[in-house]
Amino acid sequence: MKYTLIIAAALALCSCGGNQHKASDPLADSGRTARTEQLLENLKALGDSAVYLFGQHDATVYGIGWEADYTNDSTVHTRSDVKSVCNDFPALLSFDLGHIELGDECNLDGVPFSRIRQEIFAHYDRGGMITLSWHLDNPLSGGSSWVADSLRDVETHTVAAILEGGEKHELFLTWLDHVADFLNSLETPYGVRIPILFRPWHEHTGSWFWWGQQHCTAEQYKALWQLTVSRLKDKGVTNALYAYSPGTEPDGDEARYLERYPGDEIIDLVGLDCYCWAPEADTTQIANYAANLDRNLATVCAIAKQHHKAVALTETGYEGIKTDNWWTSTLAPVLSRHPVSYVLVWRNAHDKPGHFFAPYPGHPSTSDFIRFYNAPQTLFLRDVNALYLQ
């Protein structure tokens, strides 16, 4: 059944319909690589099918009770909590570029960028898909992505300061160039630039990040996107798709969802970040999450259709997964009503107790997660590999 649905989806996730291991990496008319455009087509096709990819942030670099040995290359892509539970990797891996702008060796969660690059190569070689977020620091205050109350006045001026004419514009261009260098460095030994879904400036409908709702105008936010995409393009980036992923603040309202939408010429995928934070299996809060997710996904999927965009649940999860059957009783039923291309859960932090979003061996939701894994609709890495074998 699972494979019938997969074949019905008729996809090859990152392949260009032929042998991906060839030296040439042709450009499409859009100026991006043909493989990057193909990834977009595949994501759209997934949206038209009943199946969706499962992904996790930082899945292969650490989990509950372990952290990869970053000094040992042979440990690349060998472990993840998801694999320990269901003997398969997520089809989609997500990593974060926060602190690449500073020229740091490691990202904000302590993962070396060199390791992230290796994980990306390994996952691509295995037929998986990669997305990158960017929790960058504040170029004006020197603080993090998160707004500090004591610096509120500065934070509120940051987007204006990095746009053209602003006092931090030149600095910010160098920050974008670090991102461009990283994306351009994702070239395989056989000359292929690995297609990436880049997802900066996320959850901007809330105000916890310095690019959030209360810290810039809609015009400034859109200009920030324009600047980002045009600078990366000028720097030769040909392997990036761009995802727009607000939080749930639009609350199902199309106009609010689109208030800061940078435009069809910039965005490839529309999404939504929506979390379940219920303490100790609070059934009312879990039901509220499901209703909230349902309402917001309906809007995002409608917008995707109108604008001919791919669509995904770009971040979700129940922190601590405090009910045993959350996967098949809460998440899957909502997803079955909305044609998303993927669902991504956030990280299993090794150094922040209780901050995890996928089960690990011994966690009470493992058997439910295995049911979710076996469901016909969910695609993990092996399912995606099966597509290559067609």
Q: Which residues bind ligand BMA (CB under 6 A)?
A: 96, 108-109, 135, 346-347, 352
Q: What distance in Å separates the CA atoms of residue 250 and residue 252, rounded to the nearest whole number?
A: 6
Nearer to ligand BMA, 58 or 155 (CB): 58
Nearer to ligand BMA, 289 or 373 (CB): 289
Q: Work out the burial of residue 280: count CB atoms within 10 Å of its CB; fewer than 13 is exposed, 13-18 middle, 19 or more buried.
A: exposed
Q: What distance in Å separates the CA atoms of residue 164 and residue 217, rounded to the nearest whole number?
A: 15
Nearer to ligand BMA, 96 or 155 (CB): 96
Nearer to ligand BMA, 109 or 368 (CB): 109
Strands in the chain per DSSP E = 52-57, 62-63, 66-67, 92-96, 129-133, 196-199, 240-244, 269-276, 310-318, 342-345, 378-379
Strand partners, 241: 197
- Identity of the residue numbered 12: A
Cα Rg of the chain, angstroms: 20
| CB 95, min distance to ligand BMA, A | 9
Q: In Å, what is the CA distance from 172 to each residue of 49, 169, 178, 284, 296?
A: 40, 5, 10, 44, 33
Nearer to ligand BMA, 37 or 109 (CB): 109
Nearer to ligand BMA, 163 or 313 (CB): 313
Nearer to ligand BMA, 337 or 352 (CB): 352
- Identity of the residue numbered 309: K
Nearer to ligand BMA, 135 or 231 (CB): 135
Count of beta carbons in the 10 Å neighbourhood of residue 290: 18
| 8 A C-beta contact, residue 47 and residue 307 | no
Nearer to ligand BMA, 52 or 95 (CB): 95
Q: What distance in Å separates the CA atoms of residue 233 and residue 217, rounded to the nearest whole number?
A: 24
- DSSP label at residue 331: I
| CB 21, min distance to ligand BMA, A | 32
| CB 57, min distance to ligand BMA, A | 7
Count of beta carbons in the 10 Å neighbourhood of residue 141: 19
Q: What distance in Å separates the CA atoms of residue 79 and residue 27, rounded to the nearest whole number?
A: 34
| CB 340, min distance to ligand BMA, A | 20
Q: What distance in Å separates the CA atoms of residue 228 and residue 162, rounded to the nearest whole number?
A: 11
| CB 2, min distance to ligand BMA, A | 31
| CB 82, min distance to ligand BMA, A | 17
Token representation of residue 177: 């160039």
| CB 371, min distance to ligand BMA, A | 26
| CB 208, min distance to ligand BMA, A | 10
| 8 A C-beta contact, residue 296 and residue 340 | no
| CB 158, min distance to ligand BMA, A | 18
